[in-house]
Amino acid sequence: MTVIESPTPLPIDLDARYMLAREIAQQAGERALQMFRNRAALEVEHKGLQDFVSIADREVEGIVRTAVSEAFPADAFLGEESAAGASATLSSERVVWVVDPIDGTSCFLNGLYAWCVSIGILVDGEPLIGVVFDPNSGDLFHAARGRGAFVGETPLSASPACDVREGLVGVGFSHRLKPEAFMPFLVRLLGDGGMFIRNGSGALMLAYVAAGRLIGYYEPHINSWDCLAGIVLVREAGGTVNDFLANGGLLRGNPIIAAGRALYPALTALIDGRAD
Protein backbone atom coordinates (compact mmCIF):
# COMPACT_ATOMS: atom_id res chain seq x y z
CA MET A 1 0.00 0.00 0.00
CA THR A 2 1.36 3.40 -0.96
CA VAL A 3 1.23 6.03 1.76
CA ILE A 4 1.02 9.60 0.54
CA GLU A 5 2.26 12.05 3.13
CA SER A 6 0.49 15.36 3.49
CA PRO A 7 2.55 18.19 2.06
CA THR A 8 4.19 20.57 4.50
CA PRO A 9 2.07 23.73 4.74
CA LEU A 10 3.55 26.70 2.95
CA PRO A 11 5.06 29.35 5.26
CA ILE A 12 2.92 32.34 6.11
CA ASP A 13 4.32 35.80 5.35
CA LEU A 14 3.70 37.47 8.69
CA ASP A 15 5.70 40.59 7.82
CA ALA A 16 3.48 41.42 4.86
CA ARG A 17 0.31 40.86 6.86
CA TYR A 18 1.59 42.87 9.82
CA MET A 19 2.40 45.79 7.54
CA LEU A 20 -0.93 45.57 5.74
CA ALA A 21 -2.91 45.39 8.99
CA ARG A 22 -1.34 48.64 10.17
CA GLU A 23 -1.95 50.34 6.84
CA ILE A 24 -5.56 49.19 6.59
CA ALA A 25 -6.37 50.13 10.18
CA GLN A 26 -5.24 53.70 9.56
CA GLN A 27 -6.98 53.95 6.18
CA ALA A 28 -10.24 52.56 7.57
CA GLY A 29 -9.92 54.70 10.70
CA GLU A 30 -9.54 57.89 8.72
CA ARG A 31 -12.69 57.08 6.76
CA ALA A 32 -14.53 56.29 10.00
CA LEU A 33 -13.39 59.61 11.44
CA GLN A 34 -14.87 61.46 8.46
CA MET A 35 -18.22 59.77 9.09
CA PHE A 36 -17.95 60.38 12.84
CA ARG A 37 -17.76 64.10 12.15
CA ASN A 38 -20.91 63.81 10.04
CA ARG A 39 -22.64 61.17 12.19
CA ALA A 40 -26.01 62.94 12.30
CA ALA A 41 -26.53 61.88 8.69
CA LEU A 42 -25.83 58.17 9.28
CA GLU A 43 -28.47 55.47 9.06
CA VAL A 44 -28.61 53.47 12.30
CA GLU A 45 -30.14 50.07 13.06
CA HIS A 46 -30.74 48.35 16.40
CA LYS A 47 -29.34 44.81 16.57
CA GLY A 48 -30.42 44.30 20.19
CA LEU A 49 -30.54 45.96 23.59
CA GLN A 50 -27.84 48.67 23.60
CA ASP A 51 -26.45 47.12 20.40
CA PHE A 52 -26.32 49.35 17.34
CA VAL A 53 -24.92 49.25 13.82
CA SER A 54 -24.58 52.11 11.37
CA ILE A 55 -23.76 52.42 7.70
CA ALA A 56 -20.32 53.50 8.91
CA ASP A 57 -19.65 50.07 10.46
CA ARG A 58 -20.54 48.33 7.22
CA GLU A 59 -18.58 50.68 4.99
CA VAL A 60 -15.45 50.53 7.15
CA GLU A 61 -15.61 46.74 7.34
CA GLY A 62 -15.91 46.69 3.56
CA ILE A 63 -12.73 48.75 3.24
CA VAL A 64 -10.82 46.25 5.37
CA ARG A 65 -12.31 43.16 3.70
CA THR A 66 -11.56 44.42 0.20
CA ALA A 67 -7.96 45.25 1.04
CA VAL A 68 -7.40 41.85 2.64
CA SER A 69 -9.00 39.91 -0.23
CA GLU A 70 -6.93 41.77 -2.81
CA ALA A 71 -3.63 41.22 -0.99
CA PHE A 72 -4.27 37.73 0.42
CA PRO A 73 -7.20 36.10 -1.39
CA ALA A 74 -6.72 32.76 0.40
CA ASP A 75 -7.04 34.30 3.87
CA ALA A 76 -10.33 33.95 5.73
CA PHE A 77 -12.20 36.92 7.20
CA LEU A 78 -14.39 37.30 10.27
CA GLY A 79 -15.90 40.73 10.72
CA GLU A 80 -18.45 41.88 13.26
CA GLU A 81 -20.95 42.92 10.61
CA SER A 82 -20.62 39.65 8.68
CA ALA A 83 -20.23 37.25 11.62
CA ALA A 84 -23.82 36.01 11.47
CA GLY A 85 -23.00 34.02 8.34
CA ALA A 86 -19.66 32.66 9.58
CA SER A 87 -19.12 28.94 9.25
CA ALA A 88 -17.95 26.68 12.06
CA THR A 89 -15.13 25.58 9.72
CA LEU A 90 -13.65 29.07 9.93
CA SER A 91 -11.54 28.08 12.94
CA SER A 92 -9.73 25.50 10.78
CA GLU A 93 -8.51 28.08 8.25
CA ARG A 94 -4.77 28.75 8.32
CA VAL A 95 -5.08 32.55 8.41
CA VAL A 96 -8.14 34.39 9.73
CA TRP A 97 -8.46 38.18 9.92
CA VAL A 98 -10.74 39.05 12.86
CA VAL A 99 -12.03 42.59 12.51
CA ASP A 100 -14.22 45.06 14.33
CA PRO A 101 -14.54 48.05 11.99
CA ILE A 102 -15.77 50.36 14.74
CA ASP A 103 -15.43 48.94 18.23
CA GLY A 104 -17.49 51.24 20.41
CA THR A 105 -20.34 51.99 18.01
CA SER A 106 -22.55 53.43 20.74
CA CYS A 107 -19.82 55.91 21.66
CA PHE A 108 -19.25 56.67 17.98
CA LEU A 109 -22.92 57.44 17.39
CA ASN A 110 -23.21 59.59 20.52
CA GLY A 111 -20.21 61.79 19.83
CA LEU A 112 -17.88 60.18 22.36
CA TYR A 113 -14.26 59.45 21.47
CA ALA A 114 -13.93 55.91 22.87
CA TRP A 115 -14.01 53.92 19.63
CA CYS A 116 -11.41 52.39 17.37
CA VAL A 117 -10.63 50.03 14.50
CA SER A 118 -9.49 46.59 15.67
CA ILE A 119 -7.71 44.02 13.49
CA GLY A 120 -6.44 40.70 14.83
CA ILE A 121 -4.87 37.93 12.77
CA LEU A 122 -4.98 34.25 13.70
CA VAL A 123 -2.45 31.89 12.13
CA ASP A 124 -3.04 28.18 12.60
CA GLY A 125 -5.41 28.97 15.45
CA GLU A 126 -3.05 31.28 17.34
CA PRO A 127 -3.42 35.08 17.62
CA LEU A 128 -0.17 36.41 16.18
CA ILE A 129 -0.86 39.97 15.04
CA GLY A 130 -2.89 42.71 16.68
CA VAL A 131 -3.57 46.29 15.56
CA VAL A 132 -5.84 48.83 17.26
CA PHE A 133 -6.11 52.29 15.75
CA ASP A 134 -7.70 55.20 17.62
CA PRO A 135 -8.43 57.84 14.95
CA ASN A 136 -9.34 60.52 17.49
CA SER A 137 -5.95 60.46 19.24
CA GLY A 138 -3.94 59.14 16.31
CA ASP A 139 -2.64 56.28 18.50
CA LEU A 140 -1.71 53.19 16.49
CA PHE A 141 -1.26 50.25 18.87
CA HIS A 142 0.33 47.25 17.19
CA ALA A 143 2.06 43.99 18.02
CA ALA A 144 3.22 40.74 16.45
CA ARG A 145 4.18 37.54 18.22
CA GLY A 146 7.75 37.69 19.48
CA ARG A 147 8.31 41.30 18.39
CA GLY A 148 6.88 43.30 21.27
CA ALA A 149 4.01 45.76 21.42
CA PHE A 150 4.12 49.41 20.44
CA VAL A 151 2.11 52.59 20.12
CA GLY A 152 3.62 54.19 17.05
CA GLU A 153 7.32 53.52 17.55
CA THR A 154 7.18 53.56 21.37
CA PRO A 155 7.44 50.15 23.10
CA LEU A 156 4.65 49.20 25.49
CA SER A 157 4.83 47.49 28.88
CA ALA A 158 1.94 46.23 30.97
CA SER A 159 1.63 47.63 34.48
CA PRO A 160 3.81 46.11 37.24
CA ALA A 161 0.97 46.64 39.75
CA CYS A 162 0.29 43.70 42.06
CA ASP A 163 -2.73 45.12 43.91
CA VAL A 164 -6.01 46.51 42.54
CA ARG A 165 -5.51 49.63 44.65
CA GLU A 166 -2.56 50.63 42.46
CA GLY A 167 -4.54 51.76 39.43
CA LEU A 168 -7.73 51.55 37.38
CA VAL A 169 -9.28 48.27 36.21
CA GLY A 170 -11.15 48.46 32.92
CA VAL A 171 -14.45 46.61 32.74
CA GLY A 172 -16.97 45.77 30.06
CA PHE A 173 -20.50 44.44 30.02
CA SER A 174 -23.20 43.73 27.47
CA HIS A 175 -26.82 42.74 27.87
CA ARG A 176 -26.07 39.34 26.39
CA LEU A 177 -25.65 38.45 30.07
CA LYS A 178 -27.71 39.24 33.14
CA PRO A 179 -26.36 41.91 35.51
CA GLU A 180 -26.04 39.27 38.26
CA ALA A 181 -23.22 37.71 36.28
CA PHE A 182 -21.16 40.87 36.67
CA MET A 183 -22.18 42.92 39.70
CA PRO A 184 -20.60 40.69 42.39
CA PHE A 185 -17.20 41.30 40.84
CA LEU A 186 -17.65 45.07 41.07
CA VAL A 187 -18.65 44.76 44.72
CA ARG A 188 -15.53 42.74 45.50
CA LEU A 189 -13.30 45.08 43.49
CA LEU A 190 -14.57 48.17 45.29
CA GLY A 191 -14.49 46.37 48.61
CA ASP A 192 -10.77 45.69 48.10
CA GLY A 193 -10.11 49.37 47.43
CA GLY A 194 -9.99 49.10 43.66
CA MET A 195 -11.66 51.36 41.11
CA PHE A 196 -13.04 50.68 37.62
CA ILE A 197 -13.64 52.46 34.35
CA ARG A 198 -15.78 51.51 31.36
CA ASN A 199 -15.41 53.40 28.10
CA GLY A 200 -17.43 51.20 25.73
CA SER A 201 -14.58 49.80 23.63
CA GLY A 202 -13.05 46.52 24.75
CA ALA A 203 -10.34 46.69 22.09
CA LEU A 204 -9.24 50.14 23.17
CA MET A 205 -9.22 49.22 26.86
CA LEU A 206 -7.11 46.13 26.17
CA ALA A 207 -4.69 48.38 24.30
CA TYR A 208 -4.59 50.54 27.44
CA VAL A 209 -3.70 47.45 29.50
CA ALA A 210 -0.82 46.78 27.12
CA ALA A 211 0.27 50.41 27.51
CA GLY A 212 0.09 50.26 31.32
CA ARG A 213 -2.62 52.93 31.38
CA LEU A 214 -4.98 50.38 32.95
CA ILE A 215 -3.76 47.69 35.32
CA GLY A 216 -6.27 45.14 34.05
CA TYR A 217 -9.44 44.46 32.10
CA TYR A 218 -12.38 42.11 32.66
CA GLU A 219 -15.52 41.43 30.67
CA PRO A 220 -17.69 38.36 31.39
CA HIS A 221 -18.53 37.87 27.71
CA ILE A 222 -16.89 39.50 24.73
CA ASN A 223 -16.81 38.63 21.03
CA SER A 224 -13.57 37.70 19.31
CA TRP A 225 -13.57 40.70 16.98
CA ASP A 226 -13.56 42.98 20.04
CA CYS A 227 -10.52 41.41 21.68
CA LEU A 228 -8.27 39.33 19.40
CA ALA A 229 -6.04 42.28 18.57
CA GLY A 230 -5.91 43.31 22.22
CA ILE A 231 -4.87 39.82 23.30
CA VAL A 232 -1.75 40.03 21.14
CA LEU A 233 -0.99 43.53 22.41
CA VAL A 234 -1.23 42.56 26.08
CA ARG A 235 0.83 39.40 25.73
CA GLU A 236 3.55 41.15 23.74
CA ALA A 237 3.63 43.92 26.36
CA GLY A 238 4.44 41.35 29.04
CA GLY A 239 0.92 40.93 30.41
CA THR A 240 -1.22 37.84 30.91
CA VAL A 241 -4.51 36.95 29.21
CA ASN A 242 -6.83 33.98 29.76
CA ASP A 243 -7.33 31.33 27.08
CA PHE A 244 -10.04 33.22 25.25
CA LEU A 245 -10.21 30.87 22.25
CA ALA A 246 -11.06 27.79 24.35
CA ASN A 247 -14.36 26.03 23.67
CA GLY A 248 -15.14 27.79 20.42
CA GLY A 249 -14.38 31.33 21.59
CA LEU A 250 -13.66 32.52 18.06
CA LEU A 251 -17.32 32.28 17.03
CA ARG A 252 -19.16 32.08 20.37
CA GLY A 253 -17.16 34.54 22.46
CA ASN A 254 -15.89 34.05 26.00
CA PRO A 255 -14.89 35.95 29.11
CA ILE A 256 -11.74 38.06 28.79
CA ILE A 257 -9.33 38.66 31.66
CA ALA A 258 -6.15 40.64 31.03
CA ALA A 259 -3.66 42.24 33.38
CA GLY A 260 -0.02 42.78 34.11
CA ARG A 261 1.65 39.52 35.12
CA ALA A 262 1.86 40.43 38.82
CA LEU A 263 -1.80 41.43 39.13
CA TYR A 264 -3.38 38.65 37.08
CA PRO A 265 -3.72 36.09 39.92
CA ALA A 266 -5.35 38.63 42.24
CA LEU A 267 -7.72 39.83 39.51
CA THR A 268 -8.83 36.29 38.66
CA ALA A 269 -9.36 35.63 42.37
CA LEU A 270 -11.69 38.63 42.59
CA ILE A 271 -13.59 37.50 39.52
CA ASP A 272 -14.01 33.99 40.86
CA GLY A 273 -14.93 35.19 44.35
CA ARG A 274 -11.92 33.49 45.93
CA ALA A 275 -9.80 34.91 48.73
CA ASP A 276 -6.52 36.21 47.37
Is 231 within 8 Å of 127 (Cβ atoms)?
A: yes
pLDDT range class, residue 38, cuts 50, 70, 90: confident
Cα separation, 176 vs 256, whole angstroms:
15
User: pLDDT (tens digit, 9 = 90+) per residue, 136-175?
Assistant: 999 999 999 999 999 999 999 999 999 999 999 999 987 7
Q: Binding site: which residues?
A: 80, 100, 102-103, 226
| Whether pLDDT at 248 is above 80 | yes
Is 77 within 8 Å of 67 (Cβ atoms)?
A: no
Domains in the chain and their CATH numbers? 14-155 (3.30.540.10), 164-272 (3.40.190.80)
| Whether pLDDT at 49 is above 50 | no
Q: Specify the pLDDT at position 88.
A: 63
Q: Binding site for Mg(2+): which residues?
A: 80, 100, 102-103, 226
| Whether pLDDT at 1 is above 80 | no
Q: pTM (2 decimals)?
A: 0.91
